[in-house]
């Protein structure tokens, strides 16, 4: 018999948190990290997903409209945007791919087929751009210089996220009666690298995301996924305070903790997932926003008093996944996506 759980956040709490994200959305639809900050397409999309999940559908629509307008002719987006200009012109392949995850999530949440059809050209161009940069060995570079030259290395976290986004793109294609076998081939090759050739990626073992993200994204599944989480849990989970951003610092972050909670949910360990989610609640501010991180045992926010929209978005999406609130609640852990192996 499965244990019964109470909801991790109330509807009012989720609405309050989503409202703090909405407060950082520009008139054009772009969602900043924080006041006077910048935006990137990955965190912008994550924030849009949180708005959809919380019922702020019109605001989420505006977020996707901004993505459509900002997309470059080759299907990519620049790395960082300010309200009035591009801040960093290089291209992050993972950020470009993640738009597909957001579009599929918004469709699952709203069942708006017109939206899906309208966004299909944007998704097609973005994933084609990413797949076109896959090497003969299967790697996809983390970034591309402004002159079109790809960076020399790939990242575990970014590649895992791309794998998940490709599966979302394939799901969109299937729903619209399209055929994209090259995306399926690219995703299978990525998964093979992540499962069996991890040493070929740029080493980032200090970072928690490289530990749990292949599990969260579904690149590593089954017993291998459970073993991966168990092997380095003590390195990254700081007592009952949450997940360290990096293994050698006592800095717990809201986003990493919530994402890691969803990774545990992906392997069926709901107890650990809920425990991690609860551990991040001391980072909640009075208006429902979440501080980016906190240093223990001093309990000092770091960066100082920073409240980031991507942190609040991760909380909303984790609460949605844990409580099955919206129709897209389990997409983040790959539920319902095509099985490619």
pLDDT tens profile 96-123: 999 999 999 999 999 999 999 999 999 9
Q: How many CB atoms lie within 10 A of CB 19?
A: 17
Evaluate whether residue 253 is within a structural domain.
yes
Q: Which pLDDT does position 180 carry in this prediction?
A: 97
Q: Which pLDDT does position 44 carry in this prediction?
A: 98
Residue 231 pLDDT more than 70?
yes
Residues 315-337: tens digit of each pLDDT: 999 999 999 999 999 999 999 99
Evaluate whether residue 313 is within a structural domain.
yes
Evaluate whether residue 1 is within a structural domain.
no
Residues 277-327: tens digit of each pLDDT: 999 999 999 999 999 999 999 999 999 999 999 999 999 999 999 999 999
With a pLDDT cut of 90, the percent of the chain lying above it is: 97
* Chain center to CA of 70: 20
Residues 234-257: tens digit of each pLDDT: 999 999 999 999 999 999 999 999
Q: Which pLDDT does position 120 carry in this prediction?
A: 98
Residues 119-160: tens digit of each pLDDT: 999 999 999 999 999 999 999 999 999 999 999 999 999 999
Residue 219: which pLDDT band, with cuts at 50, 70 and 90? very high
- Give CA separation, 18 vs 84, 175, 289, 290, 294, in Å: 24, 29, 8, 11, 21
Q: Which pLDDT does position 205 carry in this prediction?
A: 95
Evaluate whether residue 334 is within a structural domain.
no
Measured CA to CA, the distance from residue 281 to residue 241 in angstroms comes to 9
Evaluate whether residue 4 is within a structural domain.
no
Tokens of 164: 């998940």
Q: What is the sign, positive or negative, of the torsion defined by CA atoms of 137, 260, 273, 165?
A: negative
Evaluate whether residue 341 is within a structural domain.
no
- CATH number of the domain to which 276 belongs: 1.50.10.10
What range defines the domain where residue 299 resides?
Answer: 11-329
Evaluate whether residue 80 is within a structural domain.
yes
Residue 76 pLDDT more than 60?
yes
Residue 339: which pLDDT band, with cuts at 50, 70 and 90? confident
Residue 42 pLDDT more than 80?
yes
Measured torsion, CA atoms of residues 25, 30, 32, 35, in degrees rounded to the nearest 10? -50
Residue 3 pLDDT more than 70?
no
pTM: 0.97
Q: Which pLDDT does position 1 carry in this prediction?
A: 44
Measured torsion, CA atoms of residues 193, 199, 205, 207, in degrees rounded to the nearest 10? -30
Evaluate whether residue 325 is within a structural domain.
yes
Residue 4: which pLDDT band, with cuts at 50, 70 and 90? low
Total domain count for the chain? Answer: 1
């Amino acid at each position: 018999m499965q244990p019964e759980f109470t909801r991790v956040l109330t509807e009012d709490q989720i609405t309050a948190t989503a409202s703090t994200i909405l407060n950082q959305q520009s008139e054009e639809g772009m969602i900043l990290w924080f006041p006077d900050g910048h935006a990137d397409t990955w965190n912008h999309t994550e924030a849009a997903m949180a708005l959809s999940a919380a019922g702020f559908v019109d605001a989420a629509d505006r977020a996707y409209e901004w993505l459509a307008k900002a997309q470059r002719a080759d299907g990519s987006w620049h790395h960082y945007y300010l309200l009035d200009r591009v801040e960093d012109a290089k291209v992050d392949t993972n950020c470009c791919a993640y738009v597909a995850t957001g579009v599929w999530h918004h469709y699952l949440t709203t069942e708006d087929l017109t939206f899906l059809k309208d966004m299909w050209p944007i998704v097609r161009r973005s994933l084609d751009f990413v797949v076109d940069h896959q090497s003969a060995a299967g790697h996809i570079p983390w970034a591309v210089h402004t002159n079109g030259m790809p960076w020399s290395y790939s990242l575990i976290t970014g590649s895992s996220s791309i794998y998940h986004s490709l599966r979302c793109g394939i799901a969109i294609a299937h729903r619209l009666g399209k055929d994209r076998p090259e995306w399926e081939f690219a995703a299978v090759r990525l998964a093979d690298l992540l499962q069996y050739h991890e040493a070929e990626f740029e080493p980032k073992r200090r970072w928690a995301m490289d530990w749990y993200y292949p599990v969260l994204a579904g690149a590593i599944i089954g017993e291998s996924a459970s073993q991966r989480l168990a092997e380095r849990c003590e390195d990254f989970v700081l007592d009952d305070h949450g997940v360290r951003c990096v293994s050698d610092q006592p800095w717990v972050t809201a986003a990493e903790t919530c994402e890691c909670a969803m990774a545990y949910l992906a392997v069926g360990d709901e107890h650990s997932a809920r425990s991690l989610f609860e551990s991040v609640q001391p980072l909640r501010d009075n208006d429902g926003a979440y501080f980016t991180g906190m240093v223990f045992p001093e309990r000092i926010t770091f960066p100082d008093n920073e409240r980031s929209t991507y942190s609040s978005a991760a909380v909303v999406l984790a609460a949605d996944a844990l409580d099955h609130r919206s129709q897209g609640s389990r997409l983040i852990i790959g539920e319902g996506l095509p099985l490619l192996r």
